[in-house]
Amino acid sequence: MTLAATGHRDWYGLVTVAGVLQVPAVARLVRGAALAPGTRTVVEALRMQGRGWAYIHLRHLARELAAPLATDAGGRFSVVLYLLASANFLGLGLPVSSPDWAVLIERNSDTLFTQPAAVLVPAGLLTALCVGGNLLVDRVLARRRRGR
């Protein structure tokens, strides 16, 4: 809302702010997910072998963190999309002339009973994008687990 009040109604500003708002939660997730694997004896053995910080963190711990981060990214994608769509629907996001699904829903909301497809199709596409993103992440993670 602050960006809209100051006149910054471009898509990259909105996406940047929505992404920055997610940083604390992602950092907390990464820290929590890295605590257990970071204290295992494997990490101590790698240190004793003379492996550097980059090798331990980027090769060993990154593999341990990939699944929780991918799962969280699927959920956060839906949350960010919801934030952007909500801002656009309320008229705080993109201008009304932009080709955005939430803008189309807001612009056509008064014709819901006369032309329901003008509202329901963009709403269904937004929902399909959120659900499809999460299903894609789940499928990739399931294939990765089967491949082991």
Poorest-pLDDT segment among 1-15, 17-31, 90-104: 1-15
CB neighbour list of residue 80: distance below 8 Å, 6 or more residues apart: 15, 18, 19, 22
Q: For position 136, what pLDDT does the model report?
A: 92
Give the CA dihedral 91, 92, 94, 100, nearest 10 degrees. -50
In the chain, DSSP finds a helix count (H) and a strand count (E) of 7, 0
Collapsing DSSP to helix, strand or coil, 94 comes out as: coil
This model's pTM is above 0.75: no
Tell me what pLDDT residue 28 has: 92
Structure confidence at residue 59 (pLDDT): 80
CA distance 95 to 103: 8
Identify the band that residue 2 occupies on the pLDDT scale cut at 50, 70 and 90. Answer: low
Q: What is the mean pLDDT of residues 84-107?
A: 78
Rg of the Cα atoms in the chain: 21
53-73 pLDDT, tens per residue? 888 888 878 888 888 888 898
Strand, helix or coil for residue 49: coil
